[in-house]
Structure 1
C-alpha cells in the first residue's frame, strides 16, 4: 500500500516545539557553579605528606568529615584531597534539597528498619539542626531556607498513598500536613496537583555550591590542608598506617576516610554495592512578579511528585525555578564520562513536562541545562563500613539525598575510625549493608527491566508487576 508523505511547512523545515524554543539560549553548565563568587582552587599535592587523618573527596562527605574531625579534636592533623575542584560534582550541582531523612523517606525507612525508625528520624532531625547551626556559626552564605517540602500527588492512586503516609507519621509522633486539592493549589497552583503532603520543618532549601565552598573555607580556617586537582590513585597499608598515592606525590596517614560516593571506591569490595546513574536538571530565567503571582508559591517549599520517575523542583533566591529528575540513566559497566553531562533528549522531555505542570508560564526560557552522576544503592539510603583493620572508613550510597545525610555519614565514619559505640553506630541501618547489584551483563539487563516496569507502574495506576514485586520481596531496588 502506498504511503502519502506529510507535507512540510513552507521552506522545508519543521517548526520547533515550544519546549525546544525554551531551551534555545540555555547554557550547558550547572547553574550553581556558574557563579563569579566561586573560590580559586587550592594547589595540587606535590611531594609527600603525613597526617593523622586523610580525607579523600571534596564533596559534602569529605568536607563535613574534615570539619567535624577538627571540631572534635583541633590538634588532629587533617589533609583533604580532591580529584578536581571542591564541589564540582554532585555536591555543587544538585537541587539543593537538604532533608532530615536518613532513610530516603518515611515509607522506605519503615519497610527496612521498622524497629528503629523513631531513632533514625530523631537522628535525622538532630543532623539537620546541626547543619543549620554550622551554616550560621561559620557564616556560610548559601541561602539556607527551612521551608519544608511538599510531596505531590499528580495521579489519583497517589492521593491514597499520601494519606497513608500522613497517618503513619502521626503514629510516630511526626507531623506531616495533608493538603487536599484546593489546599495544595493554594500553596502552588498547578492543574496537575491533586493533593500534597507537607513536611514543614524536615527539609531546607539552599544553594548547594555555596554550601560546599563555605565548608571549604571553614575547613581551611580550622587548619585542614586542602589539595585540589589531586586524585587518589591507590590505597594500601604502609606500616601502622595507610598510604595513598596521587599523581605528584603520596600521603602517609594514620587513618583514611573515603567520601568518593559515585566514583570507583578505593576499597574494591564496596564497588558492587553502588551504581552510578545520571540525573538531569533545567533552570529557568528569573520569573517576573506577574509570573510568580500566577503560580503562588509564597512559602517557597521544595516540591516533588510521587511518581516512580519523579520530578523535583524549587525556587531559587532570585525566583528562578529549578526543574529536574524524571530520567535516571545508567550506562553499561557503570561508565562515568564527561560526555554524559549533557542530554538534549532529556531536556526536551523535562521542558515539555514543565509547561504541562505550569501552563501559565508558557514563554518562560531556560537559562541553564546540566546533568551529572549520583551514587545509587539498592536500599536507597547510605551504608557504612571499615577496611584495613579499621584504619579506613567509608560512607556511600546516598541515592540523591546526600545534601543532608552526608553530615550524618561524616559523623559515622569518624565514630567508626575511633572505634566508638555511639547511638549512630549501634543502629541496624549503620551496621547492615544493602544487597549488591549483580555483575554485568545481568546488572544492565536488570536495571533496564526495572526501569521499564517502573514506567509501566506510573502509567498503570501504580500497579507493580511481578518483577517489581519480586524485587520488593528481596529488598533490591533502583532509584535516584
Structure 2
C-alpha cells in the first residue's frame, strides 16, 4: 500500500488537544489589576510556576495570563515523554557540567518524583505511566554507542538494560531494530494536554487567577513594581515570571538565546488487538532511535501510536506563525518511516497530523536569568525536553524572585546562560536552511561520522553534539 494513503483522513489538529474534556477558557482580562506575582505564559513552565508559588505561600496573590489557551502550544502538542533529565540527557550534561552532573541527576530524579507527587496530591488524571523508554539502534555502528552509554549511565547510578536484537524485538518488534538501551526508571509517559489542564485546575483550586486570551505586550519597571501591558489594561506586580519559551520574550536581551523550531507528529487510529500483538509492546515503553534526525514513539492510553520527530524546521527570522504548524511534506516522510519501521501494520490509518513550535537553546536545555533589579525572572530553552524539566525551571524562577539562595541557584547550569544564536542570515545558514541540517543527515548516512562543520560546532559548544 502507498504510505500516503494512510494520511487521507488525518485531521490537521493536535490529537491531544482534540479532546471533549478540553476546558472552556477563562475570560480575558479586561481593565487594570494588581498582584503579588504575575506569570506570563500558560504552558507547563507558567503553570508550574503559579502552582509551586501558591504551594510555597498560599497567601501570595498569583495572576497567570496566557495569550491563547492554557496548554495550546508545545505543552499540548508534544509526545508526552516526561523524563528526569534536566540536561537533555546524561551525555549533554556530562559534557557541559561534569562537576555538577551527580547533583543534576539527583535533582532531576527528585523533580520527577515531585511531579508524580503533585499528580497524586491534586488528583490529576493524565494517563501517567512509569514505563521507561528505550533508545534503539537501527544501524550497526550505533550499537557501540549504546554499549558506551550503558556503561556511563551505570557509572552515575543508573540501571540501564542493554538489549540485543532479539531482546529489543521481544519488547517492541521491528525488523529495523538491532539493539536497544532500556531506561526503566527515569521516564514516564503522560497525556500532555491533560497534564496541562490538570495543572490549570490545580492552580484555580488554590486561588490562582487565570485569564486566557490575554497577551502581554510590554513590560516596564516603575519603582517597586513592574507594569505589564495587555490589550485591555495594565497589570502591576511586585514580581513577574516570564514563561513564554518559543514565543518572543518581553525582554529583548533574552531573545538571542532561543530560536523557535517546528516539530511534527502523526497519530494512528487505535490499534486492534491483533495489530498490537504483531508489535508486542506489552510493557508500553516509549522509544526513540539513535539517529541525529530521530523519531520519538510510544503508545497512547487507547493504543494509538504517536509518531513524531525527524524534521526540525527553522524559519528565517525566527517567525512563529500558525501556517508553519502544517507541513505535508514532513507528514509524508513520517508516514513512510512509520511503515518501514512497522511493516506488519500496513493498512493502519493516521487520524491526526500536526506540528508545533519548541524553544531551542544552544546547550539544548533550560537556562534562566533575572532582570529589573531582581523583580523579573525567566526560564526557557528546554529544546523539546520540557515536560519534566519545566517544573525545575519554575523553581529556578521562583528562588531568585524570593531572594533565596538554594542548591539550585548555586548551580553553574542556573548561574550561566548558553551561547546566544548568531543574527540572521548566519542563523538560517547554520541551523535552518542549510549547513547543519544537511550535515546531520549526512552523518546519519555515514555511520555517524561528523564533518568539519559539525565538529566545529561541537568545539564551540553550540549544542549539536547532543
2:107 corresponds to = 123
Q: Give 1:341's match in structure 2, choosing from 289, 310, 325.
A: 325
Task: Please report how far the alpha carbon of residue 478 of structure 1 lies from its aligned counterpart in structure 2 after TM superposition.
Answer: 4.5
Structure label with greater radius of gyration: 1
2:460 corresponds to = 474
1:50-449 equivalences under 5 Å are 50-447=34-431, 448-449=434-435
What does the per-residue CA deviation read over 1:53-95, in whole Å, with 9 as the maximum and x for residues that have no partner? 0000000000000000000000000000000100000000110
Q: Residues 129 and 190 of structure 2 are in contact (CA less than 8 Å); yes or no, is this contact kept in structure 1?
A: yes
Secondary structure, aligned partner of 2:99 = helix
Task: Please report how far the alpha carbon of residue 370 of structure 1 lies from its aligned counterpart in structure 2 after TM superposition.
Answer: 0.3
Secondary structure, aligned partner of 2:141 = helix
CA distance in 2, matches of 1:170, 1:374: 31
Q: Taking structure 1 as the reference length, what is the TM-score of the superposition?
A: 0.96
Task: Please report how far the alpha carbon of residue 477 of structure 1 lies from its aligned counterpart in structure 2 after TM superposition.
Answer: 2.6
Secondary structure, aligned partner of 1:364 = coil
Q: Give 2:441's match in structure 1, choosing from 449, 455, 469.
A: 455
Q: Give unmatched runs, 5+ long, in structure 1.
A: 1-16
1:26-41 equivalences under 5 Å are 26-41=10-25
CA distance in 2, matches of 1:380, 1:141: 30
CA distance in 1, matches of 2:45, 2:23: 19
Task: Please report how far the alpha carbon of residue 136 of structure 1 lies from its aligned counterpart in structure 2 after TM superposition.
Answer: 1.0
Instruction: State the aligned residue count.
Output: 464
Q: Give the superposed CA RMSD.
A: 0.9
- Runs ≥4 residues deviating over 4 A: none
CA distance in 1, matches of 2:234, 2:192: 30
Task: Please report how far the alpha carbon of residue 239 of structure 1 lies from its aligned counterpart in structure 2 after TM superposition.
Answer: 2.3
Task: Please report how far the alpha carbon of residue 171 of structure 1 lies from its aligned counterpart in structure 2 after TM superposition.
Answer: 1.3
Q: Residues 170 and 280 of structure 2 are in contact (CA less than 8 Å); yes or no, is this contact kept in structure 1?
A: yes
CA distance in 2, matches of 1:191, 1:114: 37
What does the per-residue CA deviation read over 1:246-271, in whole Å, with 9 as the maximum and x for residues that have no partner? 00111000000000000001111110
CA distance in 2, matches of 1:380, 1:278: 15
Q: Residues 457 and 464 of structure 2 are in contact (CA less than 8 Å); yes or no, is this contact kept in structure 1?
A: no
Q: Give unmatched runs, 5+ long, in structure 2.
A: none
Q: Residues 399 and 479 of structure 1 are in contact (CA less than 8 Å); yes or no, is this contact kept in structure 2?
A: no
Q: Taking structure 2 as the reference length, what is the TM-score of the superposition?
A: 0.99
